[in-house]
């Protein structure tokens, strides 16, 4: 395992309230900001902490992913995202996230074989699709089908059995590309393509997505590499909203399929994974470079509720390192496809240039995030806009499972249960309806 261990006490913070004070341990990890351990605050001072959107709260100890938002650094198990995106493969990264170390050749082969052997769905799951409207959003299909997997694979839902946990992880990583591709096929009215075990993970997904029975399908190595890179870049991102949702659901001992379905639901929102779809819609609405200044004015107007989608991040106060790699990949993909002039890319580049020099964005440290360029690449690769967020979910599944596994294996895990400041009516007596004014 990677050198992770647990946090250590690095100091003490004293908090005084009324005539009492409490000495609270300050904990430090391997990297990053130290945290005050407030677990004994209530017993010592009789008060709770208040942090509604968790902006100042660490919810767990984790040895998986590290982000330095000021410097724009992202590490998976200590390895910089740039190196993994350049040199690794998605399944190698999946192994790394799940197990803490990069695999040796034998481990990599074994892991790949396990994932490959689980790519088919229970045939009965096929019939689920008949119940959806043809125009159902693929995220709705993903969420339901993944949740339903607990009914089809009851032999891997005992979360206290490490072997069952392992099998459910393989099942989820292996089957999510099949589910995602089939959600598209259902929308498109095309036959479902069964997985092919002679193809790599990314190739197989592209095959199930794009291939049709009457035509031979030839994988394109540049597009396969781009797909693999997109999956690596989205594989994990520490305690974001969807991952925290997975952990919260998992803290109740819910089965892993149910927890991942909860994560998919959380990812769907435009403030999170839905942003890649929203970026493209935004670019289409802006339409032309000449409309950018008016659009920027709208974004800056507090009453408009318009945001520059693909910009800003709770943690990054610098360029999201994934956005830089996405931008580079974007050029590679457009080059390979012979697209010399992509108006959406020109628009995005101009928008980025203007925003990065505008006082509104500069003073708030708003930079492009991973979603700013991903939609343009995915569009060029032939994915319809509503498939962008499902592809994000496909990639993030391994991160969710790794975080869920880490939590289940942590002996200090107990049900997550935040507190509140109650602002409702004080206690009062019930009045029967005939006596109410
Ligand atoms: N456009 C315009 N203004 C913005 C944007 C944006 N994209 N993002 C933040 N701001 C402004 C806020 O209005 C706020 O201004 P104020 O201080 O004058 O009130 C200030 O910047 C700080 O922003 P917060 O909303 O407090 O930042 P928060 O951490 O809560 O939100 C979020 C982060 C949700 C990502 C936000 O930046 C956003 O909505 N961005 C657009 C959606 C997006 O791209 N989401 C993808 C995130 S990455 C991911 O999940 C893969």
C-beta neighbour count of 252 within 10 angstroms: 12
Pocket test for ligand 1, best of 231, 312, 374, 400 (most atoms within 8 A of CB): 312
* Residues paired with 68 in a beta bridge: 73
Q: Which two tokens stand for residue 54?
A: 């968790």
> What is the per-residue pLDDT for 233?
97
Q: Could you tell me which residues come within 8 angstroms of residue 344 by beta carbon, excluding any fewer than 6 positions away?
A: 280, 283, 284, 376, 379
Residue closest by Cα to atom 47 of ligand 1: 272
**Residues lining ligand 1, Cβ inside 6 A:** 271-273, 275, 299, 307-314, 364, 366, 369-371
Nearest CA to ligand 1 atom 19: 302
Give the position, in ligand 1's atom list, of the atom nearest the Cα of 279: 44
Going by alpha carbons, the residue nearest to atom 24 of ligand 1 is 314
Ligand 1 midpoint to CA 313 (Å): 6
Give me the active site residues, please: 313, 371
pLDDT for 4 equals: 53
- Say whether 19 sits in a helix, a strand or coil: coil
Give the three-class secondary structure for 274.
coil
Is 70 exceeded by the pLDDT of residue 279? yes
Which tens digit of pLDDT belongs to each residue from 65-115?
Answer: 999 999 999 999 999 999 999 999 999 999 999 999 999 999 999 999 999
| Residue 237 CA, closest ligand 1 atom number | 51
Which among 183, 218, 222, 225 is positioned nearest to 201, based on CA atoms? 225
- Cα(312) to centroid(ligand 1), Å: 5
DSSP-based three-state secondary structure for 272? coil
Averaged pLDDT for residues 297-325: 92
With a cut of 70, say whether residue 2 has pLDDT above it: no
pLDDT > 90? residue 287: yes
Answer whether residue 140 shows pLDDT above 80: yes
Please give the average per-residue pLDDT across 188-200, as a whole number.
96
pLDDT tens for 209-227 read 999 999 999 999 999 999 9
Closest ligand 1 atom to 307 CA: 1
Local confidence band at 1 (pLDDT 50, 70, 90 cut-offs):
very low
* Three-state DSSP state, 190: coil
């Amino acid at each position: 395992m990677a050198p992770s261990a647990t946090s250590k006490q690095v100091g003490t913070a004293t908090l005084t309230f009324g005539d009492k004070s409490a000495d609270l341990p300050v904990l430090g990890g391997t990297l990053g900001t130290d945290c005050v351990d407030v677990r004994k605050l209530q017993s010592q001072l009789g008060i709770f902490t208040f942090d509604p959107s968790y902006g100042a709260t660490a919810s767990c100890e984790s040895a998986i992913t590290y982000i330095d938002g000021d410097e724009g650094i992202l590490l998976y198990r200590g390895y910089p995202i740039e190196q993994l995106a350049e040199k690794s493969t998605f399944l190698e990264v999946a192994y790394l996230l799940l197990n803490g170390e990069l695999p040796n050749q034998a481990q990599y082969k074994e892991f790949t074989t396990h994932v490959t052997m689980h790519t088919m769905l229970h045939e009965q799951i096929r019939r689920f699709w008949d119940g959806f409207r043809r125009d159902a959003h693929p995220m709705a299909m993903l969420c339901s089908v993944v949740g339903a997997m607990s009914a089809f694979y009851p032999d891997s839902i005992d979360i206290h059995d490490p072997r069952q946990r392992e099998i459910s992880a393989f099942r989820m990583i292996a089957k999510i590309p099949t589910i995602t591709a089939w959600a598209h096929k259902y929308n498109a009215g095309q036959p479902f393509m069964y997985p092919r075990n002679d193809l790599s993970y990314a190739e197989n997904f592209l095959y199930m997505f794009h291939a049709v029975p009457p035509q031979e399908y030839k994988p394109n190595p540049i597009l396969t590499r781009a797909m693999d890179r997109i999956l690596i870049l989205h594989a994990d991102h520490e305690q974001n909203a969807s991952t925290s949702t997975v952990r919260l659901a998992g803290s109740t001992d819910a089965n892993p399929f149910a927890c991942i379905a909860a994560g998919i639901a959380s990812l769907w929102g435009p403030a999170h994974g839905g942003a890649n779809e929203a970026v493209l819609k935004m670019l289409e609405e802006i339409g032309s470079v000449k409309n950018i200044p008016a659009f920027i004015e709208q974004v800056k107007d507090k009453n408009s509720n318009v945001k520059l989608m693909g910009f800003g991040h709770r943690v990054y106060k610098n360029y999201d390192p994934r956005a830089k790699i996405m931008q580079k990949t974007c050029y590679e993909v457009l080059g390979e496809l012979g697209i010399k002039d992509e108006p959406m890319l020109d628009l995005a580049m101009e928008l980025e240039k203007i925003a990065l020099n505008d006082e509104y964005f500069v003073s708030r440290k708003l930079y492009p995030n991973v979603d700013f360029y991903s939609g343009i690449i995915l569009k060029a690769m032939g994915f319809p806009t509503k498939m962008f967020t499902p592809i994000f979910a496909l990639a993030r599944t391994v991160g969710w499972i790794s975080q869920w596994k880490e939590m289940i294996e942590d002996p200090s895990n107990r049900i997550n249960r935040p507190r509140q400041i109650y602002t409702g009516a004080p206690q009062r007596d019930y009045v029967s309806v005939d006596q109410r004014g």
